[in-house]
Structure 1
Amino acid sequence: QTSNAENLPPQTLRLLCREVSLLSADPPDGIKVFPNDEDVTDVQVAIEGPEGTPYAGGLFRMKLVLGKDFPAAPPKGFFLTKIFHPNVGPSGEICVNVLKRDWRAELGLRHVLLTIKCLLIQPNPESALNEEAARLL
């Protein structure tokens, strides 16, 4: 796994470093961000399972991977913790519109993380990657 950091323009890297350190210092509720000092394009995250959902009490590790086209292209999201969810594929990939057609560069990583946390509360059957989990909705 090579770092994408060297493929990003210095200005993008600076913005990214600032955003990741802000997120780790002041994370959204129920979300912890662990900056990767070796590779800023690999953002490690832990999301607490929201109360009142089947995920309550769990801690779900995930990562955002930022490609060389970031922020023009959205980051890719993956759950590292095994999770049974309609919008999470067998290898942990997360299907959510903000990581696809609804992405805009100005949204930022905080918005992405909040959207993924909301997905744990309210799955989206329209973009199901796990048919079995989707049938249970």
Structure 2
Amino acid sequence: MSSMSNVENLSPQCIRQVGKEIQDLIKTPPEGIKVNLNEQDITDIQAFIEGPAGTPYAGGVFKVKLVLGKDFPQGPPKAFFLTKIFHPNVAKNGEICVNTLKKDWKPDLGIK
């Protein structure tokens, strides 16, 4: 997983859109999710997700990271669990492997 910033590879329009989406997620987060803003690197998107009640993950808090590639938003971000988790859609390195982040990606999905 790369820790290098891709901000210099993104268009100003893309940076503005990502910034707006992050601000929206901070102001009105989805239930059980807290997004952290890195003002020095807008491509460093990290969040904490509470394990849903009634699941084996209940009571847990899981740290995730989105990595925006230079082709974002045409190409999907990569998403990783930084907290160790066992799930069929999570690779050993923490990469989240779901169709929305692969073959079903659409540029208008954004980071939400």
Instruction: Give TM-score, length-normalised by structure 2.
Output: 0.94
**Correspondence for 1:102 among 97, 101, 104:** 104
1:91 aligns with 2:93: yes
Higher helix share: 1
How far apart are the structure 2 equivalents of 1:74 and 1:35? Answer: 20
Percentage of pairs with the same residue: 62
Aligned pairs for 1:27-106 within 5 A: 27-106=29-108
How far apart are the structure 2 equivalents of 1:48 and 1:2? Answer: 27
Gaps of 5+ in 2: none
Q: Deviations over 1:55-79 (max 9, x none)?
A: 0000000000101110000000000
Q: Give the Å deviation of 1:7.
A: 0.7
**Contact 2:76–2:105 under 8 Å retained in 1:** yes
How far apart are the structure 1 equivalents of 2:97 and 2:25? Answer: 22
Secondary structure at the aligned position of 1:6 is classed as: helix
Instruction: Give TM-score, length-normalised by structure 1.
Output: 0.78
> Which residue of structure 1 aligns with residue 27 of structure 2?
25
Runs of 4 or more, structure 1, over 3 Å off, are: none
How far apart are the structure 1 equivalents of 2:41 and 2:24? Answer: 16
How far apart are the structure 1 equivalents of 2:70 and 2:26? Answer: 22
Q: Radius of gyration: which is bigger?
A: 1
Gaps of 5+ in 1: 111-137
Q: Give the Å deviation of 1:91.
A: 1.0
Secondary structure at the aligned position of 2:39 is classed as: coil
How far apart are the structure 2 equivalents of 1:70 and 1:48? Answer: 27
RMSD over aligned CA atoms reads 0.8
Letter in 2 for 1:61: K
Letter in 1 for 2:109: L
**Correspondence for 2:6 among 4, 8, 12:** 4
How far apart are the structure 1 equivalents of 2:33 and 2:21? Answer: 15
